[in-house]
Structure 1
Amino acid sequence: MMLNREEFDEALAVLCSDGLARMDPALLLRVALTVWYTSLIPDLGKVPAANRADIGYLLDRLSRFNIMAKQRKLDLLGSLAPYKPISPPATMSACKDVLAIEWGASADLMPFVEELLPYQTRHYAATI
């Protein structure tokens, strides 16, 4: 279910084109598992500038689930930091997630969180 580097980059491109509000839950799950259980560090510099806020937010939010090793989380957040806006964009946002607002994302991850919960357990980690 996890993605290799090429598949991961392609998945991020698809999420960019679909938008966070319309993302495929199965693709989101594969991206989440890759973020949580591999050592891949995405390069937001390769993401089109217009989509960086959405992808940056998505990766930032996924890193905050309590599943990643501390160093892995720090490495991921460090790779995102140069792209995070210093202050939130001055636009009206329908997002309820403060992190999504800080990034200026078009939507938040909240509608999908329940589907991700079963994959954040030690039991699941032991099966991979």
Structure 2
Amino acid sequence: MKRTQEVFDRLVSSEFRLASFEDVKTVALAMWHENFVPQVTHLSETSAKAAGYVVDKLMRFNCVSQELKAKLRDVLAVLKGMFSFTPVKVKGCDKLAQSWGLVTDLKLQIRELLEYQTRHYKHA
């Protein structure tokens, strides 16, 4: 899980347009199939916005258990307690990203993850 935390930190610390699909995939698979709950208390405000969006986005998929969703909601509460996030309006940007104050999103990379979030996927 340490490596996953490092990948998560890298993902939320750089602009999403520069994010590698492999980083997004690593975090998504860990969250969806390995019950990964990221540590967020060390993040800057900018990284916290990105982390909030990533966690909020990935926890909405059906492959996330109710127990994990509860833990991830706690992560979101920690982030919201650390900083206040002012929503923005940006044409073509995911509304969830905008609600976290972001002007970019991961919707293209998330779309590529479809095959990994079904009940037919066997995580190794």
Q: TM-score, normalised by structure 2?
A: 0.84
Contact 1:16-1:54 within 8 A present in 2 as well: yes
- Unaligned residue ranges in structure 1 (runs of 5+): none
Match of residue 110 from structure 2: 113
Q: How far off is 1:16 after superposition?
A: 3.0
Which position in structure 2 is the counterpart of 1:96? 93
Letter in 2 for 1:84: K
For residues 116 and 41 of structure 2, what CA distance do their matches in structure 1 show? Answer: 28
The residue type paired with residue 112 of structure 1 is: Q
Taking the aligned partners of 1:57 and 1:127, their CA distance within structure 2 comes to: 24
| 1:39 pairs with one of 35, 40, 43 | 35
- Which residue number in structure 2 is paired with residue 81 of structure 1? 77
- Higher helix share goes to which structure? 1
In structure 2, runs of 5+ residues without a counterpart are: none
Is the Cα contact below 8 Å between 2:30 and 2:36 reproduced in 1?
yes
2:119 matched to which residue of 1?
122
- Are the counterparts in 1 of residues 33 and 123 from structure 2 also a CA contact under 8 Å? no
By how many angstroms is 1:40 displaced? 2.5
Match of 2:16 among 11, 16, 20: 20
The whole-number CA distance in structure 2 between the counterparts of 1:90 and 1:39 is 29
Root-mean-square deviation (Å): 2.3
User: Offset at 1:52?
Assistant: 0.7
Equivalent residue number for residue 64 of structure 2: 68
| 3-state SS, counterpart of residue 122 of structure 1 | coil
Other structure's SS at 1:26 match: helix
